[in-house]
Structure 1
């Protein structure tokens, strides 16, 4: 605890110390007198005096420091005052009005130019004025030109809203045609600097430039209107003429004296010649009613016939300012051309109808001839096979009686010729049956081994004669097909593989793919070039022109293709010259998941959709399956547009400019959109089209998606009957 208060003046502190020293000395003397220890008191007195002297020196130094601080404070005050005077002088030299408000929106200082134009507010512009009061005084100033329809209070509210923005700049109009630009800037401590700049000269220059541009633009618009082939008339919101070109007077046969600024639309319409006949549902009164609404009901389009030769198209459109514009175009040449074109179309349609009837008659004749040919081939084949069989028996009996090698060679050639003729007749009979719409199949479940193992023994003999190795991998799968026709298909493929393979091997195996079994016949033959892969399925077509008749008749693959198409078994081919070939036949596996209806077993009903002239879009990324379905559909008389993905589909339809009658879409289309997504794209572009998703996916999700889209779901392998029913339903909607 200190005996002296440091806050007291130095004089007061010295006075207290002297009193304390005197009291201490008196006490020491008193104690010394009592105890008799004078010397000890003397020492204490000397020590006390020394301490008092040290304290006195400290107080003197403190007093010196205080005097120095007071001097520095005085110098700082002088500097601050000088800075304030300099700041005041600086803002006074600014040509704009300047005011500084602190973070609490209280006026700190301003120059003499601030609000100088608002003379009635100058007396209140003193430090301490709030920003809100400043705005209120300005809003009530007689010098301020308030915007039309806005009072002083509303102006003040709008001004305070702007003040709350971080950056403010706007123009204020004063009476007498003067303008101030007001801008606000935020200081580092949150205060506000307000600048007022007189921009009267700039505004006046801008107005003069704007008027000059308006005059120039008006001349340009006038020149443009006069160069138009259309007649144009512009009316303001009061229905008065404000602009036009010469062409409209020529088209409407209106004298130039009628076309004047301020002319009424109703007066011009009344003066229009009675020769102008408003065609269709339009009328003069309807035209007048539209003009009365200033085009607010929408654009107007009508035709007017002038006399017997000229046709005019009138178009009216409202404008944002409440006026409207009318254009008149001479469309006489277009209407005459359209009339001539309509006459030509009628004549062409008549000729097309005549030609169509002729073609229908020719087609019916051709179909009857084809049916007669099929019946003849079937009847002739049976009649020819019997005497040929007898001839072979006679030759066989002669072979035992002929001993000469030369005669036996001749007999062998005769037998070979009969075998070839028999094969040819059998092939023709098969093709005749396959082309008949009344062909029935015995579709049932059968084990693949029942077909493959007997063929291994039969074809193995032919392969052994040529030194080839035939390998047939057994399969435990059970499929649904016609046993005899499936056997004939595989027999032809395996026989062809042996016939055209000179060395190596022939391999036959089965791959399972979901609900299908793909039977593959591989060979190491010469291979088939890509450009020839379609030609090999034609009748009597063999790529090896040097081959003899005994090497094949060129009907085997034609029979295979037709049989696969009728059975609904997709046929595929992979081949590369020099490496060999692979023919693939896809057959449905027997049995269905629970809840899936089984394939009806029995004869397949003949299908013909030629009368419907359907155009079907087929999108399938598997080339082999796409070809098989195309062949089947074309046999039914359906025109097929093929594509392998969504992008190619949309591009192809754009190029062909065709809307298909139905669509068959694979669900899995590679990396692009799936079938359901493609269905949405087609619907968005062409509207509702009968569509079926063809997929091996039997999940409930796909079934629900198809139901939500309103499209059919056909499972792979495709049921021939279900496909036919879908196309028949599409034909009824086409």
Structure 2
């Protein structure tokens, strides 16, 4: 009951006063009560006991009051410390240079410093605690100090800003008026709140812009220096067809005073200044060119030629740029065109010149026959010099388009090509004989699948036999023999080729049969036969039976090569012939494995046609012979390739360093005169720039050079070079 009368909220004095009042009331009550049976004394005892209990309870209350006072004191101290900490936090965030704001997990502003929103003066006084984040974003979007993009509305900006707010961490830049920039960094706190930092990055962005401008200026100077140093005239137009860049070479080629080329001049204005003296090449008209320009180059690259009166002939190449503009380059090809015209004028006398050169070669070979050792050294030393002009002549002829020639000229061109093919075959045979007689021929004997080799030879000679009306039959064979595959193929090539060449009617049969531990390959024909007294002479160089075949059909070297190769490989060679009934040649080959069932034919690989993508490639041609370099360059350019030329390895490296561009592939002659040779140049090139597509051009058939090139990962192109072999080499690369 006493507990209910005492209010815990009362102070100690009030509690003591209440207790005294209660005790006094109880004492008065006890004095008034009388009990005749002696109960008064008991009442007194109970009152005394009650007073003792009251005193105990009073002491308990006093102790509780003391504890309460201590708790209140500690609470007051905690509140003071919290207020101090809050003030310290406010002072701390006020000292940082960035704008700072803290939103709670309900996205309401808890506190911010005076720099928060410092670039938006119209927000001062509106950023108060309790402000919702969405209202804050809305007010920012309406600020007069926010510079929105022209295509963006405040509402769209709010949507994009709220989307970014969904991420835990986000950093972005906001543009203000007067070219000021603020970087906003927003991060989530552990309790789900949000901290926002605003940093003025105006100086940084302006510095970056300045550096970017300097970089663009430097790039512009580099581009200008490059344009001024290249041999082509270059004109650059924007998407509106206005001139925005050119080099001095352009005004030289178009015979335009420098003052006529001005920034912003339209393409039509430029064309008007040269229209009177301009003559377009075949396939191009002014209307077509203007249509291409009007289309902004979307019709693909454009290539044509023009000529100003009697001035130079210019090759023009126009191509669109990614920004909608286009660039046009002008290249002076007068010298090349004049060379082609000179070659066209000389085609009628070319056959006589080749014949004269062939006679000179025959005289040299006759002299070499009288002195065998001298002949071998001469052929080895002269091979490169002979193959150089032969390669150049073949490439020059291949650069001539037969479609535009008159019939007599086309016939003369075909005869010249056939004569060069004949000379090439003679040189190959001479080189083979030179190697075989000098003992320098390297053989690699191993298992050879005879059936596959015979099938390949059948495909090779079938057209030749069909052209003469002969039946060429090659019997299947499953034998595996021990021989050198290269020389065995050359032996059988010469035997089959001779059989077809000297057989006018009937057939040529090629087959193999087992004879003990050997396989005998026979080549039978139904030709005129060989007299017994002439059967030894046919294996001599330059000996042709009855001398009835023309020089284009061979110079009598095939059987000489067959005999020497068979001796080198230890393959016995036999001959049986009957006049008027035909001839049979036999080659005895050691058997490498048992005769098995007919092996499946080897997969046929179609010869490479025109390799795709030529027109986007750049070839670096390193050749010290000017005529051969010019011939190969014309051929490559006719196929649509870009060509860079150098006469030596040192000049090639200097040109690469000057232009700063690595071509797509390299064609390098082995003999470059003084200084490094071709293999040394390609090795140094791979060391500097890594493995690059390359081919080494050489007339040297020494196995040492082939092995060194193979070890370096470099393929070979043997001279003499013709258009087909060059195209196949490029296609392989």
Could you state the TM-score of these two structures normalised by the residue count of structure 2? 0.48
Work out which of the two has the higher radius of gyration on C-alpha atoms and give 1 or 2: 1
> Which fold has the larger relative contact order, with Cα–Cα distance below 8 Å and residues 6 or more apart in sequence?
2
